[in-house]
Structure 1
Amino acid sequence: MTSAATQRSVLLDELTVLRVPVSDPRVEPLIRELGDEYSARYGKDAHTELSRYPDEEFTEPYGGVLLLLLERGEPVAGGAFRRYDPDTAELKRIWTHSGHRRRGLARRVVAELEREAAVRGYRRIYLTTGPRQPEARGLYLVTGYTPLFDTEADPETLRFLPFEKHLATHATTDPTPHLTGKAADQ
């Protein structure tokens, strides 16, 4: 069981945003489906890549966080960031369950992660996505990320597609104030 500080949640419409450790059993569908999808798109086992970073990097003491969006208690989307450098958070594992896509859930995850990163003092977000993930490329472009690659190049000629976004700074260090709705410990 996780501490109350990492279990704080908030209702957003019918969704609950929850900070959880990677070990939370509700994270497993995220990692499994993400790994299966990446493996199918790139023709090699992507599960190893998803486990490349230690779980601790996605926890608050180490500068990161993992968020899940739950609908009626079931994970429908999620994502994480880890510390990239003292000023930069790196987005990782952005995911929407295949049965819940085209609802704006990934945008909501990215917005929540940006808020969490800004509150923790990060001034920049960095991320990479793969050339066979046009949905991710579109998501980052529409949410204001600057491509750090030649957007005119054939994506298949690029190993990965890096993006960045500069964040507004916040005066508070408590990550709770940005949450809207009724916050509750579970």
Structure 2
Amino acid sequence: MSDTFLYTSPLDPRAKPLIDELIHEYDSRYGNYFNAEGAAAELNRYPPEAFAPPQGSFLLLIRGGETIGGGAFKHYNQRTAEFKRIWTRSDLRRQGLARKVLVELEAQAGRQGYSRIYLTTGFRQPEAVGLYLDYGYTALFDTSADPEIYKSLPFEKDISHLVPPAFENEAVEPRLRAAGAHL
């Protein structure tokens, strides 16, 4: 059975398993540490349009008709996409699915003209920290310190090598150049 990517919207019914499990996992790990309303408030902080082309993208990883992973990005600044909601189904972890989602999101961000990635993860998500460090992301915090002092752990990565040559040296924002990008 092969895995396929589906570019869609957070409003797609196939996204519900991803969103429901993210809420459950974040609430289990953090409770109301960040927000009295919990993870649902955080996941609803951005409108679905923030993850829509040409500014952003939302993808699901599908296997056998079931959503098994996903992720998204939104516009952060002229050259930077901010990754959000990278997730894999809990019973399918440790199979490289998060890395697969990460690679696809990076490629899509490049296709949309972004040359840098910015993302944050929570201090109680060591698996995510390991993934980002292993996959070439630079920690924008002291990795030897107790992560709880930071709460939110930021990372960045240069992906300028993924930007199609047609976008290089253009003085137009990526979200405006993306009209011809593969979606």
The TM-score, its normalising length taken from structure 1, stands at 0.85
Question: What amino acid does structure 1 have at the position aligned with 2:117?
Answer: I
Question: What amino acid does structure 1 have at the position aligned with 2:44?
Answer: S
Q: How many residues are matched? A: 163
Percent identity of paired positions between Structure 1 and Structure 2:
55
Aligned with 1:60: secondary structure? Answer: coil
Aligned counterparts, 1:9-158, within 5 A: 14-44=2-32, 45-61=38-54, 63-158=55-150
1:151 shift after superposition: 0.6
The TM-score, its normalising length taken from structure 2, stands at 0.86
Aligned counterparts, 1:152-171, within 5 A: 152-167=144-159, 168=161, 169-171=163-165
1:73 shift after superposition: 0.8
Q: Distance in 2 between matches of 1:164 and 1:57?
A: 20
Conserved? CA contact 1:36–1:47, under 8 Å: no
Q: Distance in 1 between matches of 2:3 and 2:143?
A: 34
Who is 1:9 aligned against? none
Q: Distance in 2 between matches of 1:68 and 1:20?
A: 7
Alignment gaps of 5+ in structure 1: 1-12, 177-186
Aligned with 2:141: secondary structure? Answer: coil
What is the CA RMSD across the aligned residues, in angstroms?
Answer: 1.2
Conserved? CA contact 1:130–1:160, under 8 Å: yes
Q: Distance in 2 between matches of 1:46 and 1:17?
A: 25
Q: Distance in 2 between matches of 1:143 and 1:51?
A: 28
